[in-house]
Chain A
Amino acid sequence: MLQQWQQITASSWLLGLSLAGFTIGLWVYRRSDNNPFLHPLLIGTPIIASFLYLSNINFELYYQANGALSWLLGPTTVALAVPLSKELRQLPALMRPVSLCVLLGGFVAAVLALSLAVLFNISDEVLLSIAAKSVTTPIAMGITQQLGGLLTLITLVVLLTGIVGIVVTNIIFKRTGIVDERWQGLILGIASHAIGTARAFEISPRCGAFSTLGMGLNGIWTSVFLPSLVALFLH
């Protein structure tokens, strides 16, 4: 713990780099009227990565220095209970659509990803590392470890899934006529986990609460069925 703290403080300016990158990203995003193609993650990360490349800083060092930021994901996950508890009262009436959407959505997401992996002739190792792609990072890492996949790859795949989700949902919601913020949130949470949830909270607290619900339920549900489903798709 002490050693960890020393590492964090010794290179704490790298934490400032994350904040700077994020601030630039956020500024661009706000100016563009929250265009998902200009999401702070899409603008901020290349800026930070190119800075690291140019100044020859190793990613490990950067990642350790930013331990505090990644650590905050834990308490924030717990904090999601607060907006969620406000929406919980109306949940019994919506039980059927919510549960069907989670059960079928989570399953279809995994089946689609695994079938395409077989179709594209992707190696077993990579297949195991992408199976949990629609699940939030902490749960996806647990599942991937259990399956025997690569942890570095699953975090990237989860991230890209989240970004693809927030970029395409707007268009899909418009085309299919999903205007109710509760359903928009639920779908964002199931398909795009925490990144979708972050986006959903920008739409409204209610949208965010339903996204949290979708993300949490899908995480638990996927960890139940995925190990047996994956076995069917291995070479």
Chain B
Amino acid sequence: MWLTGLAIPGPLLGMLLLLTALSLSDRPVEFLENTSSLLIQNLSLMFIPISVGAFFLSREIYQQFPSILTLILLSTVGVIIFMALLIKRLVRDD
């Protein structure tokens, strides 16, 4: 996990390993497909517990909350517009 001094989490490393294995073999692996699509379809459910935590934070954080929220809103909208325009430009050039 701490290879090369970078914190690449275990699951991400596992995904990269499985991806390498899958791209090396041409055979479709059916049992893997069924399991993985079942898990992926319920991805939102797995975020429920941590998301409920948003309602149970400390007072000091809630005080800074209006600026944090504005920041998240502006920067996320900003970067999505940026990428959309970037892609438009890159793909038109090709």
Contacts and interface: CB of A to CB of B under 8 A. Distances in A.
Contacts of A88: 19, 23
A63 B94 CA distance: 49
Contacts of A101: 83, 86-87, 90
Contacts, number: 263
Contacts of B48: 18, 21-22, 41, 44-45, 48, 66, 69
Contacts of A191: 76, 79-80, 83
Contact of A82 (B22, B58, B75): B22
A41 B87 contact: no
Interface string B52-91: 1111111001001001111111111111111111111011
A177 B72 CA distance: 24
A34 to B, nearest CB: 12
Majority-rule SS of B interface residues: helix
Interface of A: 18-19, 21-22, 39-41, 44-46, 48-49, 52-53, 59, 62-63, 66, 69-70, 72-85, 88, 96-97, 100-101, 104-105, 108-109, 112-113, 116-117, 120-123, 126, 130, 133-134, 137-139, 142-143, 145-146, 150, 152-153, 155-157, 159-161, 164-165, 168-169, 172-173, 176-178, 180, 183, 186-187, 190-192, 194-195, 197-198, 201, 208, 216, 219-220, 223-224
Interface of B: 6-12, 14-16, 18-19, 22-23, 29, 32-33, 35-37, 39-41, 43-58, 61, 64, 67-88, 90-91, 94
Pairs of residues from A and B, 8 with the lowest C-beta to C-beta distance, nearest first: A79-B36, A77-B11, A49-B55, A142-B7, A66-B49, A81-B18, A85-B22, A112-B75
